[in-house]
Chains A and B, each alone.
Chain A
């Protein structure tokens, strides 16, 4: 015997401009089982909610349908309202009359008719709704942070300082990420390593942080509060418990000419290596791809010279399993290499470099010890051309977005060059200058007014080599498109920020969404920037989209706050939209016949087998059982079951059937 209350919201004018809300309430009020129907200007406001609460109490309502904005917006609000009035929150449904009706149709009879059918459809659903109780799941108060750049370091420190255990996993031999490769940071020209390394050391020494470097995420199972993760510890070939970091092995290693990833290809390293002098942990690993022993079976010089016998060859990768309550993804980004640009030489010209390579040149611990020198002949360039927006904002190259940091770092590069080479000339070809952060505009002004950097508004059509110089052919649009040709000694391309290779596979391992550029997707672009659509997995930093250091650090702290909020609860309260296999009286026990097709189909392996036994312990039949902690409520099993023995609470067979049938009959 249903007593449904129907509440139609005007949403100010958002709904009432095209839908006749009063008529909707009137018409739905005539449906059998609807006890009370009304309309109101702002249902989600306090007086609106009080209206619902009063109606529930006065009319003893058994269900509520609210016709308003999208349920994705306010379903939790209205469910809380019902709960506070004593009605089970899952007996409340929301009809989408705004995003999917009033906002997309013109004012008219058919729009109002559609609104009426949508509300009637949910009235029929509510009649079949069952009261449900939320599920409580215990939370493991340990977090996993994937990626040891500045975002990962910040997030790990914040969570660890709350008193929770953190596991930080980094795939390179050292933490630090791209920030450790920078020379100075805008807008303060702080030395990057000087501000980063104290944090790196803090991470290594923090009692709550377990650091795994040269390690990658192998597998993720489970769900929020209870993720079972498998981490692959790649074989380092060095026993860190014995290694003292003396560095003798690196001095003696015969393979000295391997291009150094840390120096963006401009310098070299050995096969047994520490990526940079301030690495944390400051102990080497062997690069198997370039080691004489692993490739040819010879050498083994490092093990001979190691004073403590720390070298251990041929160890397999180790796998460790951990149970964590939340995961923070901080895997960062990459920049395009110069070989992406055919018009700038396909990467063939040694003196055409990208921004990261320029950082290494400018860095005091870089391959040229901080002097700006041409990679081709080591000469100091007297004229440098910087080209902004290389690849970014270019739909023809498949990168329509803005990479956010390039305008600022190009200005910074030009300033650093001018500081180091007083008689040098620098030109920046730009489209716009995006200097939006605090003190950013003043920084760019300083580059132009104090350091004499010349800004030319226009794009560069071609760069080619002639007589040892690089000819840059561009245009100056502020002079009406006048062609500009500069004979430069070096060209620096501010290449686009892109996602890391392997981002897609990582996202699929964790079941998080990503956009067409393989940046990970946030749950809501405005209001939920640090969460993903997968509960318990959070994002921070450039893996979500290119950003500068202040924004990255803010986001990392934001993600850490979300993790801390999660861990501050005793138990996680989950929505009871899960599948249940029916049970009934003996001798049937359950209409389930135990074919277990649902078991194979379940993406979360949430279906188990249950033996139904008689008093002697003999098995009568084996049926399916759903593990409420693992089930995420997708309902795939329900559509498979031939005997319809498994049903999903909240979207049950009865409910969906009534919805569809009512939609067509109205």
Chain B
């Protein structure tokens, strides 16, 4: 219960249906507990995840993002995760050049049998983001018109 002023990170997880979603279900069936801060969005495959969604997530106030799919060679659709991996290598590099805090994005492979690993991924991420704090720099720029931030001198 958040009765102290400790910051509760908002983390969105984009996961693939066949491996990580099933793995997260296994975490549930095994009753392993993890933090509530992570909300899962289901995709058929990591190959489906559009990179603009990450930017929309950060703009919407997410402090951290997890992207997870099947291990290489095990994709249910054979190569979706390979394409996703290429895309993330490229996108992550782009974000680094722009100065976006890539420590807040966690890419991982979690298979349908790795229920315990999913719980660890979630808990590690929540602890990590809590240390990094809220992603104020991004949301401030994203809410340029709403909060009239353009009047602030920086």
Q: Which residues of A contact B (CB under 8 A)?
A: 70-72, 96, 98-100, 103-106, 108-111, 113-114, 117-118, 121, 508, 511, 513-515, 533-534, 577, 601, 603-604, 632-636, 638-640, 648, 650-651, 653, 656-657, 659-661, 663-665
| Residues on A with beta carbons closer than 8 Å to the beta carbon of B37 | 110
Residue of B nearest to A515 (CB): B113
| Residues on B with beta carbons closer than 8 Å to the beta carbon of A98 | 28
Contact call A104/B33, Cβ cutoff below 8 A: yes
| Residues on A with beta carbons closer than 8 Å to the beta carbon of B34 | 104-105
Complex partner residue of B48 from A105, A651, A663, CB under 8 angstroms: A651
Q: Is chain A's binding surface mostly helix, strand, loop or mixed?
A: helix
Contact call B28/A657, Cβ cutoff below 8 A: no
Cα distance A23–B48 in the bound complex, in angstroms: 34
Is B108 close to A, CB under 8 A? Answer: no
Cα distance A508–B73 in the bound complex, in angstroms: 7
Known A104-B33, A533-B18, A663-B39: A639·B61 in contact at CB below 8 Å: no
Cα distance A11–B114 in the bound complex, in angstroms: 25
Complex partner residue of B36 from A105, A121, A633, CB under 8 angstroms: A105
Is B117 close to A, CB under 8 A? Answer: no
Contact call B8/A656, Cβ cutoff below 8 A: no
Cα distance A660–B51 in the bound complex, in angstroms: 12
Q: Which residues of B contact A (CB under 8 A)?
A: 1-2, 8, 10, 12, 17-18, 21-22, 24-29, 31-37, 39-45, 47-51, 53, 56-57, 60-62, 73-80, 83-84, 87, 112-113, 119
Q: How far is the CB of A540 from chain B (nearest CB, A)?
A: 21
Q: How far is the CB of B88 from chain A (nearest CB, A)?
A: 11
Which residue among A71, A96, A603 has the maximum number of chain B CB atoms within 10 Å of its CB?
Answer: A603
Q: How far is the CB of B62 from chain A (nearest CB, A)?
A: 6
Cα distance A653–B41 in the bound complex, in angstroms: 13
| Residues on A with beta carbons closer than 8 Å to the beta carbon of B43 | 635, 651, 656
Complex partner residue of B24 from A100, A109, A534, A577, CB under 8 angstroms: A100
Contact call A110/B1, Cβ cutoff below 8 A: yes
Cα distance A304–B39 in the bound complex, in angstroms: 75
Residue of A nearest to B32 (CB): A104
Which residue among A110, A121, A513, A650 has the maximum number of chain B CB atoms within 10 Å of its CB?
Answer: A513
7 shortest interchain CB distances as A-B pairs? A99-B28, A635-B48, A664-B60, A636-B47, A634-B77, A103-B28, A634-B45
Given contacts A70-B28, A650-B44, list 18 more A-B pairs with CB under 8 A. A70-B25, A96-B40, A103-B28, A104-B27, A508-B73, A603-B75, A603-B77, A603-B78, A603-B79, A634-B44, A634-B76, A636-B79, A639-B49, A656-B41, A659-B41, A660-B56, A661-B60, A664-B60
Contact call A653/B79, Cβ cutoff below 8 A: no
Contact call A577/B44, Cβ cutoff below 8 A: yes
Contact call B53/A660, Cβ cutoff below 8 A: yes
| Residues on B with beta carbons closer than 8 Å to the beta carbon of A513 | 74, 76, 112
Contact call A660/B45, Cβ cutoff below 8 A: no
| Residues on A with beta carbons closer than 8 Å to the beta carbon of B2 | 109-110
Cα distance A638–B77 in the bound complex, in angstroms: 14
Q: How far is the CB of A121 from chain B (nearest CB, A)?
A: 7
